Every structure is written in structure tokens, then in C-alpha cells.
Amino acid sequence: MNKFFSIAFLISSFSVCAQDTVRYMGHTLVNIDYHHGQLSPAVGVHNIQVFRANREHPEWAGGINWTYNHQPMLVYWNNQFFLHFLSDPVGEHVPPGQTFLLTSKDGYQWSKPVVVFPPVKIPDGTTKEGRTEVAKDLLSVNHQRMGFYVSKKTNRLLTLAYYGVVLGPGDDPNDGRGMGRSVREIYKNGSFGPIYFIRYNKGWNEKNTAYPFYTKSKDKGFVDACNELLATPLLMQQWVEEADRDDPLIPLKKDYKAFSYYHLPDGRVVGLWKNALTSVSKDEGKTWLYNPLRAPQFVNSNAKIWGQRTSDSKYVTIYNPSEFRWPLALSVSNDGLHYNNLLLVNGEITSMRYGGAYKSYGPQYVRGIVEGNGTPPDGNIWVTYSMNKEDIWVATIPVPVQDNVTAHANEVFNDMPDGKELAQWNYNSGLWTPVSIEKTGSGAKALTLQDWDPFDFAKAERVVPSSKRIVTEFTIIPRQSNNGWLDIEFLDSKGTPGVRLSFDSTGNVITKAGYRNRKLFSYAAGETYKIRVELNTATRFYNVMVNGKALSPQLFFAPLASIDRVAFRTGHLRRFPDADTPTDQDFDLPNAGSQDKKATYYITAFKTENK
């Protein structure tokens, strides 16, 4: 038996290797004991929070008090970004559900969310085969694997959602037995057209649903745009989980989830699904050369994987390269089939403030801009994802993707062109932990970290040339000395810190010295501190000068082979959750909707050089 199994396994392995398919050729793997996976960052990635859930203070969350927020989708049209996400009050697939929409001109500043697809009434008496429940005063749950479509013929923007039915705990809204898929137009003035169904599931029609069929619209251009969408097999493939299981519009009807795709130069289409399943089509998705198989050497579980061609004619996949939903990473390919590296996009996990059904920790369910749905003018990669199925974020990733820098930093932010100051910086900017360029009291521009979030921190990180001996200089103005916290860390390529200086909440600057902290000097609110740190990884000693005054030498608290980045963070390092944390959080954190007293730190200059 073992002999036959071995032969079958070898044949299967040979078949996989022989396929012309997506595969990972690199050697980097993640270490799940770290939220960042010990990955080096792609240089210049900006992570921006666009929606922050708040049950206690909905006025701080655009008027929304629902705390399950997930599955965002993104499009660029009419010179702006549109993003929508589905939402439930507490947990996944627990009615009611609805879909919210936000917009942004630049991807950094976002509007308040508005309802684009509200809940609808499920007719009393509705049942499902295999379920014992009978619907009574029940509202729908939204679920969608497709968010937008830009008509090629008329340049109209359609937005879509799927109305599912959940009769009780454990029921699935995307089981092919929901009401169907809805559609409406977003007009150039920002208003919405009427809601229609573009596809009913079996047993549903105009008589037992809230909205008419799209062909009833008197707007011929809208109907034409819907027909154009329905005639595109690749787009229909996104519908497979939610559609009738025998829907003739769906080319590949097997239960492969969360489809994304891109085209190769020869016209072939690469398809990607959850679990890093992949296949190739020669006829625009009408048929596939082989049943989707796991892309060789790709590591990915049941979170989404996103793939696209980039503006420099390369390709990128973005996904969680582990069996968990952290970190969020990317890999680059020259030909769209062979991926050669693994770099960090977001390696932070904010606190899950609200428990709920099937809420997973981490930055997950990443989705970019589908081919034909617009191209941002900066040429960057733009993606959106949810954090903990609670908050919604976007990330902008510079193109070409860069994994290191060769020139040292010499940045006086006030002297740099507007909008270009942070091009080489990686940062996470939350709505309550913003990272931005602001003016100090003197009117000079500065890299500014602010924080009034009890559960998150602002973080800005600068990749520097890998160095055994390095000198860093930075100028900091703390706006307060009796609250807040700022860590300055010196890290290697895997994100391991070896030196940490901290502006604490009591007016002291301290350094980590093994188990204990050691005071270096006192600081005052509003004063300017020019700090010079000379580091030697061979001796493990570092020297600090403050406003020209030398302090006593200090010892690294952890050995490093090199210094590769410098990070500024307005809070303490997080290690929760980890691989052994219970899967489902069924509790809320105390004071989950509260704010802290604001802390602000200005960094007016940053410079590095080899000693």
C-alpha cells in the first residue's frame, strides 16, 4: 500500500512541477512567532486606516456602531478611489448585514462611510433544505466577492453586493441559496442610482425580493453596462460561491474561493484562489488548462490572495504567507509565473477590541484594483484589507517594488518637496494614530506621529543601508512630557531590535538595558532634542549624544549582525496574539470605544551615515 502511495505521490508531484503555473522560487519563509514574520519590508509602503469600528461612540466612526467589518473592495474611477466593505453588528454571518462605501481623492484622506446596500427583509416562512429554522422577522446578510465594475463601453461605475440568507448559527450566506446579486450605479456627482438585482438565485424573483430585475431600468446605458458585465466570464468567476451551483454564467463551477486574476503578455490568464490555488486559461476564463492546484512552494491558508500586473510590467502577489492571517506580505515576479522574493507589507496586529463570531486576528482578505477598474496616476500598487475583521485599511506600495536602499538618509523634512517627504518611509497611520507631515509651532515641516488610541500606536520606519557600524542623527520635539510614549528602535533585516530609546510618560528618556530600563536624561515639552547615536554591532556598544552632550556608552540589549532600519513607535511592542492564542475571541476589551489623551512627536530631521 505504501509503495503504491509513493508512486502516486511521485506522479502527482511530477504533474505539478510540469505544469506551466505560478510557483514561488524564493527561499524566504515567515516565522509566525512574530507578527511581521521576520520579513524585510518593501520600501516605502504606507498603511492607512480608513475606518475604525466603535460601538460605544458611533459618532467617532461615521455614525456606525457595528463592529464586524470585512471583505473590502477597491476601484479607481473618475479621479478618485471608491472602497466598499460589508458589515454586521457583532460577528460574521450574524444578521443583519449591509455594505458601506467610502471615497478618497488621494487614498490617504477618506470620507465617512455611507450605506450603499442596506439590509432587506427575508420573507417570513423562508426555509432552506437541510435546515430546521423558518424565517420570521429576519433581515439579510451581505456577502460579496466582487465589488465594482467599470464599463469599458460607457465608462459607468457599477457597484455590486450579494444578498444572502442566514437562518441560524452556522448557516452560510454564500451557499448558493441566498436571494441573489444586486447592482446599482455610482454617478460622477457621487450619488447612487436605484438598486436592482442583476442575478437572482433559484426561487427568488421580483415578487419575493425588495428590488426589481435590472432590465426594468429605463436607463439604457445602465442596462448595457450590466449586460457587458454578464458577458465577461472572468468577472463571473468571482460569483461562484454565491451563485446557483449550476449557474451557466459561471465557467468553473467547483468550490474554489475568492478568485482573482491577471493577464500575461501572451494573453493567457493566471487565476488565483484561496489556499494559493492557481490555474491558467487561454480563452479569457471560459475554460482552464487544469483544475486549480496549490501553487508550488506558496504558503497560504484560507485568507485571500491577490495578484496583479504592476505599472513596470512586472507582477505581484499579496497575501498572508502562513497558516495564520499574519503577516501581510508580497512577492514579485518578472514573468507572472515565477515569484522570487517575500517582503513585508504590514506586520502589525492591532488589538481586537470587540469579540465576535469568526473574527480572525491580523491584516487579511487583501484585494486590489481588478483589471479594467482604473489605474491610479501614481503608478503604485493600491490594495485594501481588513484588520481583525474589525477595521478597514488600505496600503500603497511603490513601484518598482524595492527591497533595500543603497543611499543613506539625509532628510530635513522642511527642505523636501511637498508630498515627497515620506517616500522612503514605511508607516502605519491609524485614524487615532496618524503619521503625516505637519508643521511645528515654528512653521517648519516635520514627520509627525500622533496617538490618542489606547489600543494601537503610530509607527514610522526608515530602511537604511545594511551597516555594521552606523551613525544616526534625528531631531525630535515632544509636545508633552506627562503622557504618551515614543520608542526609537534600531533593528536588523528581520525586524529584531537591539537598541531601544524611549521618551516615557514621566519626562524621562530611557534605554533598555537587559531586563531593566536605564535613564539617559530628562526632557521637557516643546523643547528640541538633536540626538546622535553611534552603533557598533561588533562590539555591541553604542554612544548617545544629546544636543552636543555625550552620554555614557551603552550596550545593545540584544546582539545584531547589522543595522538595517530605524523605527519610531508611539507604544510598546506587541506579541499578542501568537500561534497558540485561542481561535475565537468571545469578549470585548474594557473601554473598547474610549480615547487616550493625545500625544504628539515632531521629527524634523533624520540622517544616517557609516562611521
Question: Which residues contact residue 453 at a Cβ distance below 8 angstroms, ignoring those fewer than 6 apart?
Answer: 430, 432, 433, 595, 596
- pLDDT greater than 80 at residue 16: no
pLDDT confidence tier of residue 1, bands split at 50, 70 and 90: very low
Mean pLDDT, the chain, as a whole number? 96
Domain ranges within the chain, ordered by starting residue: 19-397, 410-583+592-610
Phi and psi at residue 519, to the nearest 5°: -70, 135
Q: How far is CA 75 from CA 34, 225, 317, 368, 439, in A?
A: 32, 16, 18, 8, 32
353 and 592 Cβ atoms separated by less than 8 Å: yes
pTM for this prediction? 0.96
- pLDDT greater than 60 at residue 465: yes
Report the CATH fold assignment for 19-397.
Neuraminidase (2.120.10)
Q: pLDDT tens across 305-354, in order?
A: 999 999 999 999 999 999 999 999 999 999 999 999 999 999 999 999 99
Q: Considering the chain, what percentage of its residues have pLDDT values greater than 70?
A: 97
The mean pLDDT of 270-286, rounded to a whole number, is 98
Cα(394)–Cα(80) distance, integer angstroms? 14
pLDDT confidence tier of residue 20, bands split at 50, 70 and 90: confident
Q: pLDDT tens across 217-242, in order?
A: 999 999 999 999 999 999 999 999 99
Question: Which residues contact residue 482 at a Cβ distance below 8 angstroms, ignoring those fewer than 6 apart?
Answer: 505, 506, 507, 525
Sheet-wide strand order for 293-294: 260-263, 269-273, 277-281, 293-294
In the three-class reduction of DSSP (H, G, I as helix; E, B as strand; rest coil), residue 423 is classed as coil
The mean pLDDT of 179-191, rounded to a whole number, is 98
Phi and psi at residue 522, to the nearest 5°: -95, 150
- pLDDT greater than 80 at residue 491: yes
- pLDDT greater than 70 at residue 258: yes
Domain 410-583+592-610: which CATH class?
mainly beta
Question: Which residues contact residue 47 at a Cβ distance below 8 angstroms, ignoring those fewer than 6 apart?
Answer: 345, 346, 348, 363, 393, 394, 395, 427, 428, 429
410-583+592-610 has the same fold as 19-397? no
Supply the pLDDT for residue 18: 53
pLDDT confidence tier of residue 19, bands split at 50, 70 and 90: low
Cα(467)–Cα(14) distance, integer angstroms? 43
Q: Considering the chain, what percentage of its residues have pLDDT values greater than 90?
A: 96
Cell readout for 260 is: 482573482
Of 154, 167, 163, nearest to 196 by C-alpha is: 163
Supply the pLDDT for residue 12: 42
- pLDDT greater than 50 at residue 202: yes
Supply the pLDDT for residue 552: 97
Q: What is the CA radius of gyration of the chain?
A: 26
Supply the pLDDT for residue 583: 87
The mean pLDDT of 19-37, rounded to a whole number, is 95
- Indicate left, alpha or beta for 395 from its phi (over 0: left) and psi (-120 to 50: alpha): beta
- pLDDT greater than 50 at residue 5: no
